[in-house]
Amino acid sequence: MISGFVEELGAIFVLVWKAIAAFFKGEGEWEGIVKQMVSIGVESVPVVTLTTAFSGMVLALNSYIGFSRLGAIQYTGSVVGISLVKELIPVLTGIVIAGRVGAAMAAEIGTMKVSEQIDALYTLNADPISYLVLPRIIAAVFMVPVLTLYGDGIGLIGAYFVSVVLMGVNPSSFTTFLFMYMEPWDIITGLIKALSFGAIIAAIGCYKGISAKEGAEGVGKATTSSVVNSSITILIIDFIWGKILPWTLRG
């Protein structure tokens, strides 16, 4: 089991390295990159909107309940804001994109693999890494942070709505403590995480597709494995980033 995991991890690194080499050789197709940006970014806006909005609302509701017991409801905005932009929004956005986009990558490339379309690319002297993998990695690395930044705004709006409109927190108190304690570095931390999550989702999705076994069952297993592995890896990497990145630029 351990040897299989290490072997698979090494294969993913090799795939990413080949994609990076193809990028510096200028082999990427801008048309394919833009197409993947639309697929990953624009088409994911509705699901990211719902996920981040209700995440902010739920977190604000539970934070209000906890702080009201302590008589410190004025801190609701600061705690909710920091928790959203540093942790919840990047992680939830990554997992949602892994489920929607990572699965699609594995299924699409896996179908091409089992139908021998990838072999046809080799026959035509076309590099599948440049044609299939590189555009997806570039698009994911760029669009997941963009979606995360968008989700930050939606999550904070949802939190504000619940705290101020539904629970009666003073709006001036909410925003004052939010901007008093939440630093730009908190947002940057979330974006750094999101960038790595985008690379993880695309790399695992493409690898699972390329390594899919023959038949519809093989494509199905590759799709499921892509989502599960990406989600677990996102959580692990999130913890590692939490230990590496400082709490603030000042310390």
pLDDT one-digit tens code per residue, 157-167: 999 999 888 88
Whole-number pLDDT of residue 5: 65
Would you list the DSSP string of 118-181?
Answer: HHHHHHTT--HIIIIIHHHHHHHHHHHHHHHHHHHHHHHHHHHIIIIIIT---HHHHHHHHHHH
DSSP state of 245: S
The chain-wide mean pLDDT, for the chain, equals 86
- Which has more pLDDT, 64 or 155? 155
Asked if pLDDT for residue 170 goes beyond 70, the answer is: yes
Would you list the DSSP string of 214-239?
Answer: SSHHHHHHHHHHHHHHHHHHHHHHHH
Domain ranges for the chain, please list them: 33-243
Asked if pLDDT for residue 247 goes beyond 70, the answer is: no
pLDDT tens sequence across 202-226: 999 998 888 888 777 788 888 888 9
Q: Give the angle subtended at the CA of 81 by the CAs of 102 and 184, to the nearest 5°.
A: 85
> Who contacts 80 (Cβ-Cβ below 8 Å, separation ≥6)?
56, 59, 60, 63, 156, 159, 163, 178
pLDDT band at 171 (very low <50, low <70, confident <90, very high): confident
pLDDT tens sequence across 102-146: 999 988 888 888 877 777 766 776 677 888 888 999 999 999 999
Residue showing tokens 């570039």? 138
Whole-number pLDDT of residue 54: 94
Whole-number pLDDT of residue 251: 46
pLDDT band at 23 (very low <50, low <70, confident <90, very high): confident
Q: Give the angle subtended at the CA of 117 by the CAs of 124 and 211, to the nearest 5°.
A: 115
Separation of alpha carbons 146 and 116, rounded Å: 35
pLDDT band at 28 (very low <50, low <70, confident <90, very high): low
pLDDT band at 156 (very low <50, low <70, confident <90, very high): very high
Asked if residue 189 lies in contact with residue 241, where contact means CB atoms within 8 angstroms, the answer is yes
Whole-number pLDDT of residue 153: 94
